[in-house]
Structure 1
């Protein structure tokens, strides 16, 4: 049983870290700054727990007291996990307010201090207590510690795999961690003294029953963090996402939005009724409306690639306005596709192929017998402000260039600024893009100051045919107006784009999070 306790304690530590970061993503995002705050708190808790566990183990006068101490740490960790995570969303909402003034790292760390720190201390204390129970003499102490450490490492591996692959996608983040807490409470019972096991079992059963009842009736949810109605809180293998209906009256059209990041919307649709099939595919965001300008450049494409599906509104829209084109959609998360089907009535058109893969991996293999693309849209984000860095490097753009047909165009949206502290991000993306694409056009779609954080649409070609198509479509006015929305794209000259501090991003060095930090500090 000692080995079982070590195994489960270390599995629970990894589960805590994974679920902690995952559950806080809609509030703080998933940047390195956020993870740094979360991991710092967990590691600090582990350091204290290992030290405290060793001290208390040395003070125990016999093995029975050590086993009682082990029962207290396991049961205490389970209680700490189960009770704190019932109100996790409430504390996360408070943490977001702190993050606005003190930064993402501080905000995430303060929430982790409540959710992860107490349990981390108690779970870490299990290993030194268990080692003291198992060590019988100095002669075999090293082999005992080595064996227990190996079991702890195997537990960590099992915890990470089971949590990430099985529990989160099928059970949910909060439910998984509360279940782990209850399991730790049950595991503590056999380590108590024989005379007290019945009493402890009764108390734990009563506690677990009260906990479940309280969770069902009073547990906090993410509803307080959104404006509108929280329709669903979904965990998939890659995301925690909220489906939100904007405030509306009965009978009115309204927006249904998907959120996986703080204070932002990843995708959405105009709902013309309450059924999922009432979702309209017409773009609702200015930048996706602006994407349609590429059909002025290439009116009848034969083969289109869209990296990023989300709720599949834009792929559906593209299938409607380019009915003769074959459309390949690359979406990393199969859960996103299931969400689109469940909440937005998505049905794959006959001309559309869906690939559940990382966009960069797909590009790496795009030249292997696949037909080249006339248009490539990049509409994937790992936060509201940045496309995944692996799609924005010199090597990625080179793969992208090889995936294009003669005269092909790549289109994507950058959230950035033309001037000011955040401008090196745009400058770096453009500098990197120009290493593989000979002609790059940049458009602003909103009449705001150049230093304002805004949507910036980029179109690029890698050959003379593409350059001529772009130049002809834009014309001498440098303005593309889409009257059906209406949206106006205004061409930006190189002189108006600040290139100071710009980098060429590579797979080896792409400090996207550092470049976008000034943008995240503003309200977008």
Structure 2
């Protein structure tokens, strides 16, 4: 007597329509890509937003998809009803791990970041810890849905398979666009994850419903609905958690921190993603507090010899320096190119900045300078954010544009953040600026740093060198800063032998990323 065919039941029972399977695949792909886009935003307050962050996110998500596809292929070999049931449970797993991502991230960051000094290791491990499992579970349905679609239309197997693949691609496109242009802006990261959790829950119910169609005796929809209570409840709990961002914009997680105790009077610090971008003191607008602010303020004023001047700022941040110049009555005509309107709004609402005191352009600084031939006495570049640096703002071509926008006798100032035991980024910036400007100086706080400390420098480029070698900030801080000797800067460039950064080749992330 021949052995029973394990697939006979599948053949005997009606399979779900291919249209339903196509819609399910599109929804899974869309939801999984939404999570991928949100991953970069969620990691930013802890790791910054850099080439390395996005590299880790893409690699981890693809690894999760690959592992999920493999397991999904094994599941697809089972009879259709059983395969669809397991697919439904995989969607419950996707819902659970997506809803729990916010908690795993906060727990993992608190556990790993204090113990990992290498930023690349921190980025890779934390990303894998939080986002591998959601991607793994989201990768399972594709092979199952493809197999069932082919079985449902054996005479049109190629068309059925093509429809599943096309649905995955279209869903991925839709998820990417929805996350970037709609969900994060309107719902925030946690709200977006809660929405994806609900979508995965509906997909789980759809998978069990499809299995019920293939096998009339199945009655597990109630069970899976009960199973979804945990991830949906977890998503709701995530929405109730304190938001690490004071304001989550299209570009940054913006945080406003009260630093009055440290400063000694009412003051606030603006943090964009994970790095401080300026302190403003309520009743003392000319007080800079930080060496970074002190040098940008003091060097510009010293080079202009306190005469009225025009200035262009690349990045607004807390708008502390424009606010100080307005309060000091310098008569400076200030233009600020700040790409994020939410940063400007926060500076106005929380950092006592008067928007009438400056011309504000909510645009990329390079595009703003390129589209307007206005020239300035001072250009200030404040776009360095640790290992996340806009590469197009540190190239020779951009510095050529800067020089073209400077009046005779004008000066370009830019902050550079680098590690004391490397200084590769600083050396590359200096060499690149030297290809454009006759005089390039490096300024730093007068202090003795730790050997592996993260240091803030101000690089000054102009037609002529400064007539002074030291400045002191305003009271009560009186922060001193000095110019590195030309010999020391020459020796640094010669020792590190960095590349000249160009639009074609600007590996600034590698130069900052401690890759040996």
Deviates more, 1:149-158 or 1:279-288: 279-288
**Is the CA contact (8 Å cut-off) linking 2:308 and 2:330 kept in structure 1?**
no
Contact 2:95–2:231, Cα closer than 8 Å, also in 1: no
Counterpart-to-counterpart distance in 1, 2:165 and 2:457? 52
Q: 1:84 to 1:347 in 2, by over 3 A?
A: same
Q: Counterpart of 1:375?
A: 378
Deviations 1:273-293 (A, max 9, x none): xxxxxx846322112112223
Summarize deviations over 1:444-471 as a string: whole Å, max 9, x none: 3323269664332222224xxxx2xx54
User: Counterpart of 1:135 in 2: which secondary structure?
Assistant: helix
Asked whether the 8 Å contact 2:94–2:197 carries over to 1, the reply is yes
> Residue 393 of structure 1 corresponds to which residue in structure 2?
395
Residues 191/152 of structure 1: CA separation in 2 closer, same or farther (3 Å cut) = same
Q: 1:360 to 1:192 in 2, by over 3 A?
A: same
CA distance in 2, matches of 1:212, 1:425: 42
1:81–1:181: 8 Å Cα contact kept in structure 2?
Answer: yes
Question: What does the per-residue CA deviation read over 1:415-466, in whole Å, with 9 as the maximum and x for residues that have no partner?
Answer: 336xx7413322211111011111223223323269664332222224xxxx
Structure 2 Cα separation of the partners of residues 176 and 295 of structure 1:
46
1:169-205 Cα deviation digits (max 9, x unpaired): 2211122112211221023213324563662475257
Provide the C-alpha distance between the structure 2 equivalents of 1:281 and 1:75, rounded to a whole number of angstroms: 56
SS of equivalent to 1:266: strand
After superposition, the C-alpha distances for 1:343-394 in whole angstroms (9 at most, x for unaligned) are: 3243302x41111111222232232xxx21111111122x235652211111
Q: Which has the higher contact order (CA 8 A, sep 6+)?
A: 2
Q: 1:329 aligns with which of 318, 332, 336?
A: 336
Alpha carbons of 1:54 and 1:386: their partners in 2 closer, same or farther (altered >3 Å)? Answer: closer
The aligned counterpart of 2:294 is 289
Distance 1:95 1:34, change over 3 A: farther
The answer to whether residue 312 in structure 2 is matched with residue 309 in structure 1 is: no
- Decide whether aligned partners of structure 1 residues 68 and 422 sit closer, same or farther in structure 2, where only a CA change above 3 A counts: same
**In the TM superposition, what is the alpha-carbon distance from 1:5 to its structure 2 partner?**
1.4
2:383 is paired with a residue whose SS is coil
Paired residues for 1:99-248 under 5 Å: 99-100=116-117, 103-136=118-151, 140-193=156-209, 196=219, 199-200=222-223, 202-203=225-226, 206-207=229-230, 210-211=233-234, 214-215=237-238, 219=241, 222=244, 232-246=245-259, 248=261
- Tell me the equivalent position of 2:65: 46
Match in the other structure for 2:508: 512
Corresponding residue number in structure 1 for 2:426: 426
Cα deviation for residue 220 of structure 1 reads 7.3
Deviates further, 503-512 or 253-262: 253-262
Q: What is the Cα-based RMSD across aligned positions, in Å?
A: 2.9
Q: Is the 8 A contact 1:258 1:265 kept in 2?
A: yes
Change in Cα spacing, 1:338 to 1:220, as seen in structure 2 (3 Å) is closer
Pairs aligned (count): 481
Shift of 1:257: 1.8
Deviation at 1:48, TM superposition (A): 0.9
CA distance change for structure 1 residues 241 and 93 in 2, over 3 Å: closer, same or farther? Answer: farther
Matches of 1:182 and 1:346, distance apart in 2 = 41
Q: Structure 2 vs 1, CA of residues 283 and 511 (structure 1 numbering), >3 Å: closer, same or farther?
A: same
- The structure that has the greater radius of gyration is 2
1:107/1:426 CA distance change after superposition, 3 Å: closer
Q: Is the 8 A contact 1:90 1:221 kept in 2?
A: no
Instruction: Give 1:252 shift.
Output: 6.3
* Cα deviation, residue 294, structure 1: 1.9
**Equivalent residue number for residue 492 of structure 1:** 484
Q: What is the SS of the residue equivalent to 1:510?
A: coil
Q: CA deviation at 1:105?
A: 3.1
1:88–1:456 Cα change, 3 Å:
closer
- Residue 360 of structure 2 aligns with which residue? 354
- The runs of 5 or more residues in structure 1 that have no matched partner are 223-231, 273-278
Partners of 1:387 and 1:284 in 2: CA distance: 24
Deviates more, 1:152-161 or 1:448-457: 448-457
Q: Tell me whether 299-308 or 238-247 shows the greater mean CA deviation.
A: 238-247
Residue in structure 1 matching 2:82, options 35, 44, 65: 65
Match of 2:339, SS? Answer: coil
TM-score (norm 2): 0.85
Shift of 1:30: 2.3
Give the whole-Å Cα distance in 1 for the aligned partners of 2:120 and 2:380.
32
Instruction: Give the conservation status (yes or no) of the 8 Å contact 2:288–2:320.
Output: yes
Looking at structure 2, the residues matched to 449 and 104 of structure 1 have their Cα atoms a distance apart, in angstroms, of: 20
Judged with a 3 Å threshold, the aligned counterparts in structure 2 of structure 1 residues 211 and 459 are, in CA distance, closer, same or farther, namely closer
Superposition deviation, residue 255 in structure 1:
3.7
| Displacement after TM superposition at 1:329 (Å) | 0.3
Separation in 2, partners of 1:175, 1:281? 40
* 8 Å Cα contact 2:50/2:388 also seen in 1: no
